[in-house]
Structures are given as structure tokens and as C-alpha cells.
Chains A and B, each alone.
Chain A
Amino acid sequence: MIKTKGSKIVTQDDVRYIASLSRISLRDEEMARLTRNLEDILHYVRKLEEVDVRHIEPTSHVLPLKNVYREDRMRPSLTREDALQIAVQQHEGFFKVPKVIQ
């Protein structure tokens, strides 16, 4: 069964944690609104508790597809120049990002 913390499904702390997992920084007013929204939606989603799925397999994909292979051969593809045209910043043929290691 779905766990609850008191009467609320999600607290502001949960939402702060999910936001950090999602790599989204939220302003305070957004935090309050999202907490309210997620509470409403998750409350509705708990409807699924009524359904007995003990002997049911999950469906992640509707087609009976297994691994799809293709021949391992060379074929034309984007050039590095074409691919890098969309880069925010580039440097000598690479995507350039902020310094990661201080």
C-alpha cells in the first residue's frame, strides 16, 4: 500500500527533495503551489489502491518487440560541424561547459 506521512502524501520537504532530484531550482511561491498540486494529483492517483494487481505483469511497452538489431555497417551521418551548429558554446570541435572540477 502507498505510504502516508500523517494526513498529507507530500510535504514541502518532499517537494524540495524531488526538485533537487529533477535539477529544478524552485522559488518559494512555486514550491507552495507545486506542493498543493502534487498533493491533489497523488491523492487522485491513490484510486489505484483499489485495483488488485497481485498476479498481473507490468506493461511497459504495448508491442511484442524484443531487441531490434541492425547490420553493423558504415553509413552517412551528421558531420561534426553540422552537429555542433546547435551547440550553446563550442571549443575546437567539442561542446563547451562550465568548469566542473574546482
Chain B
Amino acid sequence: MKLNELTAHEILDLIRSRRTSISEVYEAVTDQIQTTEKDVRAYVRLNEKPCHADALDAAAVPVPIGIKDNICVAGQETACCSKILAGFRPPYDATVIRKLKASGAVFVGSTNMDEFAFGSSTENSCYGPTRNPWNLDCVPGGSSGGSAAAVASGEAIWAIGSDTGGSIRQPASFCGVVGLKPTYGRVSRYGLVAFASSLDQIGPLTKDVTDAALLMNIIAGYDEYDSTCADMPVPDYTQALMNDVKGLKIGIPQEYFVAGIDPEVKAAVTAAIEVLTEGGAVVEEVSLPHTEYAVATYYIVATAEASSNLARYDGVQYGLRRQPAAVRKNPLIDMYEETRDAGFGPEAKRRIMLGTYSLSSGYYDDYYLKGLKVRTLIKQDFDHVFREFDAVVTPTCPTTAFKIGEKMDDPLSMYLSDVYTISVNLSGIPAISVPCGFSKHRLPIGLQILAKPFNEEMLLRIAYAYEQRTEWHKRRVFER
């Protein structure tokens, strides 16, 4: 295997035993970018060749990483793949960036995403779509599609994404990599461009579960700059990689295996559950009765918060400013409207309008407040199951990656592709997606594991035990 096809922990072993250097690893990554980036288009911006300190202390993690374009890096363009933020160079680092810099991370570039993370396919980017490395006619998923595609193609060793309704896990599933959405409050969002503040979390996309644990060790923890960040100790997540699921109680929600699931996905996930059973886990069917309301609830709550968060893009302080030639209402209102019309893409406009509608006078109680109440019921479903079970296992997505363009004219069908990932964000719990098979068309399938709040260790433990019994995570897309 080429260096860029290795995992971060394999690379760290080689660097620490002086069998390779960070320069060689970085070169392998940029060679890969030279070869495949013209097809995959995982990045929207590549960084200049970094200066490598080859003499690093033993705790350093000098691994080439891709960063989603909605996470602020001081002095470097951070545009959220939106025209309204094109050219925006934040004057500060996001907390996760500060932590990664301190760890010795090597920043490869900014990865593509749906504009403001609005989407499930990375097609809503002002820079154009990323393609799935496993099949260039297919989407990589979204919104962290660039991060997932970069890791899958070996154009980064690992990457950072953000997940508001499945935006780490769904692209991880479509691209055959590991994606972890931490508990709400586990990772600081300071410097993450806000989409839906009660749902957003930053998390890792990696080639295997060990790497997910290592990256969580770097990014998790309290931050006084994010008042929603939990002041709780961070465990060493690698301690959870014990390859033992004996006696763990795992629930399988019957509502996730109904109409709409691709038979190949169902078969792969069923086989994965069998692997856990053989490992000694106690698997039982459970019910999450409000699952069918999750998508509707999410698209009320998330768009309401988005419409409020995106009110700041008005041309006044930073980002795009447009002024019509002739006065229409008055020069200030004209500037707001012209700037927002020119700066936001169709999906951003759709979500701002939907959110504004459900928050507006006369509709608030019927939509927004109703959504928040159903959210309580969805969360209670999980509270109830987790009283008895250690984890819940489901497919990550009902299907494998779909074709580019297939759902672009039908927003509702795009929204429904998040049906298995959305409840997790509404409930604030952590979840991970790990590769669990391939379709006959050689497209990856993902297994999703869910656990109680702040129990990422349970996710990693079960995911690692599964991984040790299978080979899916060892497949590389460009290997001959």
C-alpha cells in the first residue's frame, strides 16, 4: 500500500519508528491529489506546501488532514461553499483548528460541502459537486462530501466534518469510511459557521475506528468560547478499543427496516448484526415509535434556526455586498435583498424561506412549537431504549450513493435520504457510521451505531469489535 492509503495510526507508527517522515507522507497525499483530484474534486482550496518540523515531540500527531470549508482557519479563506462568503478570511481560528495546530496537524486544504451544509449530496456547493471516488457518476453524500471523498481517495489521511442531520455519517457511509458525530456539546463549535445551533456538531471522518478515537482525543473537550460545550472530562478514547462486545445489549429498531430500504443495504446490515451476535452481544428488537416524524420535525427545527443564523449575511459587515443600480425600496433594504439574492444558492433560499415561514406570526405554534414538542417525543424514545440497552444499531442510510443530479429537482426526496441519521441530532446523542459491505455495483454500505449522550466510548468499542471481525475498512478505492 502507498503511504497515503494507510491509516493515521499506521503512519504514526512509521514516523515514530523513523521508517518514514511527515514529508514523505505529505508527498504521497499530494501525488494522489495530482492524479485523482481532477475527477473527485474533494477540495475547494489546496494549501501551500507546509513547513514540516520533522523533529517532533513524541505526542505530536503530524497527519495530513482535510478541513470542511465551514470551519474558520485564521487568515485563510473560509467560504462555506457559498458565494455570500467568497473571499472571507476569518481573523481567528476555530477551537478545533487551534487544537489540531497544537497537535502538529498538516493542513492539506478546504474540502467541498453543500452551501452552509444545506444538503445530502455536496451538489449545493457554489464550486460545483464532488464525485464519489467509488463511482464518479454518483454523489459522495453530504454535506461533508468533500471530507469523505478526500479520505476515501487517499487525498487526505483523515478529515474534519460537521453533522447537523447526518452530514458526517451519510457521506461516510456513501464513501466507505468511518464518520463519527459526537454528543451535542462534546466538541467545541467555536469557529464553526452556524447552521442549526441546537443540532450542529463537529466530528472526524477517518479510514478506521482507531483513527476516529485518535482524532476525538485531539478535538473533544470543554471550551469557554462555546457556551454549549460541556464541561466534562475527556476520556482517552483509544481505551475503548478493547475488541469485546460480550454481554452488551444492542437494540435493533424495527422502524428502520421498513419500506424504502434497499434490499442490499438491509442484507449487509443484517449480516453485520449477526457478526455482533457471534461476538457475544445480546441483540433484541426495540421500538422508536416516533421515527417516522423525524424528517418533518428536523426540517422545521433546522430551517428555523438556519433562517435566524443566516440573517447575519446582509452585506453590512463582511462577505458579499451588492447594491442595485436604481433605488427600489431604500438603499439599505435594497442592499440586503440584492446581496442575499445574489449570494445564496437555491437550497439556501429554500431553507431560509421555510424557516422564516414556520417562525412567522400565525404559523409559529402550528409549525415551530409543534416541531419542538415532537422533538421531545423523539428524544424520549431514545431515553426509554437506553434505559435498558447499551447501544442501538441501524443502517446509516436507506440506500447506497445515488447518481449526481438524481434528486436535485426534488428537495423532499433529498431530505428523506437523511431519514436514519436525523433523530440522532434531534436527540443530541452520539453516533458512528462504519463500512459494513458493498453493493453489487461496488458502492459502500454503512452501519450506524448509536449510544447514550457522552458515551462515544460505547460507539467506538462496538465499532472496533465489528471492524476486527471484518475486512471492509481495508478496501481502498484506487488499489490495483
Contacts and interface: CB of A to CB of B under 8 A. Distances in A.
Most interface-central of A47, A53, A99 (chain B CB within 10 A): A53
Contacts of A18: 353, 356-357, 360
A39 to B, nearest CB: 10
Given A2-B367, A18-B356, A40-B411, A34 B374 contact: no
Interface string B423-434: 000111000000
Contact of A98 (B227, B299, B335): B335
Interface string A75-102: 0001000110111110000010111101
Interface in B145-204: 184-185, 198
A78 B166 CA distance: 34
Contacts of A74: none
A58 B293 contact: no
Interface stretch (B47-55, B375-383, B462-470): B375-383
B335 A37 contact: no
Interface residues of A, number: 53
Contacts of A25: 328, 337-338, 340-341
B453 to A, nearest CB: 8
B35 interface: no
- Which of A26, A47, A60 counts the most chain B CB atoms within 10 A? A60
B350 interface: yes
B332 interface: yes
B228 interface: yes
B88 interface: yes
A78 B376 CA distance: 39
B221 to A, nearest CB: 15
Contacts of A41: 299, 354, 411-412, 415
B45 interface: no
A33 B411 CA distance: 11
Interface string B63-97: 00000000000000000000000001111100000
Interface of A: 1-3, 10, 14-15, 18-19, 21-26, 30, 33-34, 37-38, 40-42, 44-45, 47-48, 51, 53, 56-63, 65, 68, 70, 78, 82-83, 85-89, 95, 97-100, 102
